Amino acid sequence: MIKEKRQILIFTLFALIVLLAPLFLKGSYFLNVLVFIGINTLLAVALNLLLGYAGQISLGHAAFFGLGAYVSGILTTRFPVDPWMALLAAALCAALLAFVIGFPILKLKGHYLAMATLGFGIIMYIFFNETVDLTGGPSGLSGIPNLRLGQLIFDNDRNNYYLVWVITLGVMLLSINLSQSRIGRALRAINDSEVAARVMGVNARILKVQIFTISAFVSAIAGSLYAHTMTFISPTSFGFNFSVELLTMIIIGGLGSMYGSFLGAAILTMLPEFLRVFRDFDIVIYGLMLILITMFMPKGLIGGLEALFKIVINKIKGGAQNVKR
């Protein structure tokens, strides 16, 4: 019970900081970066539901992100569809695809699942590139309209910031709720021992497909938000490299932690923005981080921070006792 209260407190604090941040950030460039961090956090949260909770890897999540972006982009540029409707259609489309391929793909385990999702991601990438009539092919799709609410148009960094972060915070809260529930426990049980989970009555097959579907749904929302805020999309944003980048985000941040997802997304989004040299070195550094963190810090930076926090607390407590004596 105390644990639950503490969680509510932490989330409220986090949400307050996020929502008040624009008041203190004057430069619009930084807000722009924060919009991207928001979208990447949303994606990392989506992947974390699948990998961090249920322990099922996906190396093709950029495909759902891309599908969301393209469905939204195509519906609003080639057909007179309202952007909000397009966003919904994009999310449902990705969810449907995930549901259909989920049954055969999630029967596979470990390495095989990784390879299959990787193959799926690359097939989708080829389609984004080759169906030129629909997607515009390698040269991309431009002129995607912004989202709007009545008079409010999401066409500047401040508005986009609130658009993206309100949705991201919402999804984070729902994911945190989920982890503390019957379903969250069943997912973590599958992660630890699928056989034992099934014997306890958890329908692992269905539950894995459900969480995969939800994860794709959320990823496609992120894709749609990306398309409507950028107004231009091209296939390079949705390839294998980006799937690996997403994986790196949640490994670095911490598997199973939604704040870890934010941390990972923030680091991976900011490093190339602010460190020029980083741009050429990015994949070398991602590779190294994946290896080192998996070997030495399996709970990611968030796990590391928590451990550090505990040590500090204990030191302070110890110190206080010494003073008393």
Partner 1 sequence: MDHPGQLVQYVLTGLSNGAIYALIGFGFAIIHNATGILNFAQGEFVMLGGMFTIFILSFLNLPLIPAIMLAIIFSTLVGILFERLAIRPLKNVKPLSLVIITIGASIFIRGAAMLIWGKDTHALPAFSGSNPLYVYGATIMPQHLWIFGITIMIIIANKLFFSYSILGKAMRACAYNAHAASLVGIDVKIMVLLSFMVSSAIGSMAGIIIAPLTMTSYDVGIMLGIKGFCAVIIGGMSSGLGTVLGGLLLGLLESLGAGYISASYKDAIAFIILLLILFIRPEGLFKQKATQRV
Partner 2 sequence: MLSVEGITQIFGGLTALEDVSFSVTPRSITGIIGPNGAGKTTLFNIVTGLYTQTEGKVYLGEKNISFFAPETLAGLGLVRTFQNVELFGQMSVLENVMVGLHTKSKSGIFSCAFKLPGQIREEKTVREKAYRWLEFTGLVDEADIAACNLPFGKGRLLEISRAMAVEPQIILMDEPAAGLNSRETAGLAELIRKIQDLGITIVLVEHDMELVMDVCESIVVLNLGKKLAHGTPREIQEDKAVIAAYLGED
Binding site for partner 2 (CB under 8 A): 174-175, 177-178, 181-186, 188-189, 191-193, 195-204, 210-211, 214
Interacting partner of 7 out of partner 2, partner 1, none (Cβ under 5 to 8 A depending on kind): none
Does position 295 interact with partner 1 (CB under 8 A)? The reply is: yes
Q: What would you report as the CA-atom Rg of the chain, rounded to the nearest whole angstrom?
A: 20
Minimal distance in Å, beta carbon 88 to partner 2? 17
d(CA 102, CA 206): 9
Per DSSP, the three-state class of 96 is helix
Per DSSP, the three-state class of 233 is strand
Out of 2, 4, 280, 322, the only residue in the binding site for partner 1 (CB under 8 A) is 280
* Phi, psi (deg, nearest 5) at residue 152: -85, 115
Minimal distance in Å, beta carbon 232 to partner 1? 23
CB 272 within 8 A of CB 279: yes
* Those residues with Cβ within 8 angstroms of residue 93's Cβ, 6 or more apart along the chain or in another chain: 67, 68, 71, 220
Does position 55 interact with partner 1 (CB under 8 A)? The reply is: yes
Half-sphere exposure of 129 (CA within 13 A, CB side): 10
Interacting partner of 183 out of partner 1, partner 2, none (Cβ under 5 to 8 A depending on kind): partner 2
Stretch of 78-86, 127-135, 155-163, 267-275 contacting partner 1, by CB under 8 A? 127-135
Q: Which one-letter DSSP state was computed for residue 145?
A: P
Interacting partner of 202 out of partner 1, partner 2, none (Cβ under 5 to 8 A depending on kind): partner 2
* Those residues with Cβ within 8 angstroms of residue 132's Cβ, 6 or more apart along the chain or in another chain: none
Residues found near partner 1 in the complex (CB under 8 A): 51, 55, 57, 59, 104-105, 107-112, 114-116, 118-120, 122-123, 126-127, 129-130, 195, 240, 244, 247, 251, 280-291, 294-295, 298
